[in-house]
Amino acid sequence: MNILVINAGSSSLKYQLLNPETGVLLAKGLCERIGIDGKFTYKPQIEGKQVLDAVDVAMPTHSEAIQAVLNALVDKDNGVIGSMKEIDAVGHRVVHGGEAFNKAVLITDEVMEALEDCIPLAPLHNPANITGINACTAVMGKDVPQVAVFDTAFHQTMPAKAYMYALPYEYYENDKVRRYGFHGTSHKYVSQRAAAMLGKKPEELKLISCHLGNGSSVTAVDGGKSVDTSMGFTPQEGILMGTRSGSIDPTIIPYLIEHEGMTGEQVEDMLNRQSGLLGVSGLSNDSRNVCEAAAQGHYRAGLAIRILVHGIKKYIGAYAAAMGGVDAIVFTAGLGENQPHHRYAICRGLRYLGLKIDAERNEEMVGGKEGKISTFDSQVAVYVIPTNEELVIARDTKVIVEKLNYASTEDKTIVDLEDI
């Protein structure tokens, strides 16, 4: 089975074609500047096939982008499949499923209506995800099954004590103001992978997953289920990030509006796009640049790194307390996978848990390597696991699609992982 995984943005579209059963990646790439001047990247994973790197392709809409992807995949010289018929289904990353979706679902007209209803919860992301789905339907037709896999779904197992805010209850009832959490497919993948590396079932473990990139979140996973996570109603909450402030005293917002003459929109833009590593350091949102400046004695760069490390340690400590212990901690995503200095600084502050870091192994574990970085006698295992969100999407898509008989029914009602 081959699954085409799509991650559609407002002017971009990432894609992978892979086999969910073997995990073998056939091709991946990126459509950029959709609606502008169109740049197309195609990276076949089969020896002898030609890579296309940011070549000019007219893509006035996402439909042309999808067509460019399909043309490349079936190209007689550089394609990785013989025809469109070898694409069994399409799996879409969808950022926000609200409370309507706690697992992947087959995309139907009813699902599309529900996705539209979730737009107020993710106004920057869900419209683009919907556009990607519609583009696939327009180009590939309705006979190719499509599945939505939600960033928020993994966190729908959180208990009310973790997802509710202490606001008047009617704001939850009327407006669904609550913690949703994000990076769910990443946290799901690395927590399951950590269990496999420990030789145990996910149900037997208490894990803390640290997805650290330009956007970052920490998740407590107890018995294979998310029980708390650092991001909240939006991806703004939690630890310091590349350009996001993370959690702040909410009274700062009206204070800035009153004393700085800022509008609500200006404050929101500042918190999301001008804060975090960039705001504190005054240099960059890229942790590599900030770390380099800190090493050269730049005070604000060093302060930004210390705030980040301090925040991560607080979440790990809090989640260990909330779960009544922790068996393993996992680092993933760009910063988590490739910044051994950060990992060491975080773990050094967790010795009270009986955690011991292997400094040499920690330094070696970069560039996509997977492995254990704690010592043999550490009471808490620590792993670096490169995330693979696309594989999770492909596997969830496979589980749904292989149980369906599309040839014998016209009524494709909502099908989810629990139903099958």
Task: Report the C-alpha gap between 397 and 394 in whole angstroms.
Answer: 5
Cβ count within 10 A of residue 140: 17
Task: Report the C-alpha gap between 93 and 7 in whole angstroms.
Answer: 5
As given in the structure block, the two tokens for residue 20 are 């969910």
Task: Report the C-alpha gap between 17 and 5 in whole angstroms.
Answer: 6
Contacts of 74 (CB under 8 A, 6+ apart): 81, 82, 83, 84
As given in the structure block, the two tokens for residue 382 are 């620590």
Q: How many helices (H) and strands (E) does the chain have?
A: 15, 14
Task: Report the C-alpha gap between 253 and 262 in whole angstroms.
Answer: 9
Pairing of strands 328-332, 381-384: parallel
Instruction: Give the residue numbers annotated as catalytic, written as ranges.
Output: 151
Max CA separation in the chain (angstroms) = 68
Cβ count within 10 A of residue 375: 15
Task: Report the C-alpha gap between 30 and 8 in whole angstroms.
Answer: 10
Among residues 155, 150, 145, which one has the least CA distance to residue 106?
145
Q: Which amino acid is at 361?
A: R
* H or E stretch covering 5: strand 3-8
* H or E stretch covering 254: helix 252-259
The phi, psi pair for 309, rounded to 5°, reads -60, -45
> Torsion-angle region of residue 330: left (phi > 0), alpha (psi -120 to 50) or beta?
beta
Q: What is the DSSP string of 269-299?
A: HHHHHS-HHHHHHSS-S-HHHHHHHHHTT-H
SS3 state of residue 356: coil
